[in-house]
Amino acid sequence: MFDITHRDRVLCNPTSLAKLQEIIEILALPDGARVLNIACGKAELLVRLVERYGCSAVGVDVSPYFIREARERAAERASNAGIDFHEVDGAKYDGSPESFDAVMCLGASWIWEGDLGTLKALARWARPGGQILVGEPFWRREPEEAYLQAEEVLRETFGTHFENVQTGIRLGLTPLCSIVS
């Protein structure tokens, strides 16, 4: 389904290229950094990170179409970079624990059933002192019951922005920055 709805998009999540660039600068990756992006889509973020920092990267996505486009994009713009792509469900990716300087999942927390599961999963791959970047939907205001019924979603499906940040703190993570799209 995502292959159809996201076919003509550069980014496969609800953010802008300007916000993406802001994220890239804030990450301030060290020389020799390794980056993991779960649900990488067409790999625009990974390619930009490689262009900016010269890091090595791993992109994981379940879509064969997105992985094909990601490989084409990487070959076109970062052909000498070490970007490896894996066509697999993010929940089944078996990368080495504590081996990445930055680990991210933008807009696909459903892979681990929400913010808490996503943060736990990503923390597993982050090196001590590494960064975790999550793009998580949140309620800007309490949703109306009619909306929840129409969308067939439970209020508990998402937290508020504050609740999302608190989830990370409860896991022992330190919030460094927040960018809202």
Using an 8 Å Cβ cutoff, are 160 and 138 in contact? Answer: yes
Q: Which pTM value belongs to this model?
A: 0.86
Q: Is residue 13 part of a domain?
A: no
The C-alpha angle 165, 61, 114, rounded to 5 degrees, equals 30
Q: Is residue 165 part of a domain?
A: no
Counted domains in the chain: 1
pLDDT at position 11, please? Answer: 52
Domain containing 54 equals 2-7+31-137
pLDDT at position 15, please? Answer: 67
* pLDDT tens per residue, range 138-159: 778 888 999 889 989 888 888 8
pLDDT at position 14, please? Answer: 65
Q: Is residue 97 part of a domain?
A: yes
Q: What is the CATH number of the domain that holds 35?
A: 3.40.50.150
User: How far apart, in Å, are the Cα atoms of 57 and each of 45, 53, 113, 131?
Assistant: 10, 11, 25, 14
Q: Is residue 155 part of a domain?
A: no
Q: Is residue 105 part of a domain?
A: yes
- Give which of 105, 101, 46, 98 is closest to 77, Cα–Cα: 46
Can you give the pLDDT of all 181 residues of the chain as single tens digits? 455 444 554 455 666 778 888 889 999 999 999 999 999 999 999 999 999 999 999 999 999 999 999 999 899 988 777 799 999 999 999 999 999 999 999 988 888 988 899 999 999 999 999 999 998 777 788 889 998 899 898 888 888 889 889 999 999 999 998 877 6
Q: Is residue 82 part of a domain?
A: yes
pLDDT at position 178, please? Answer: 80
Strand partners, 86: 60
Q: Is residue 179 part of a domain?
A: no
Q: Is residue 133 part of a domain?
A: yes
pLDDT at position 79, please? Answer: 73
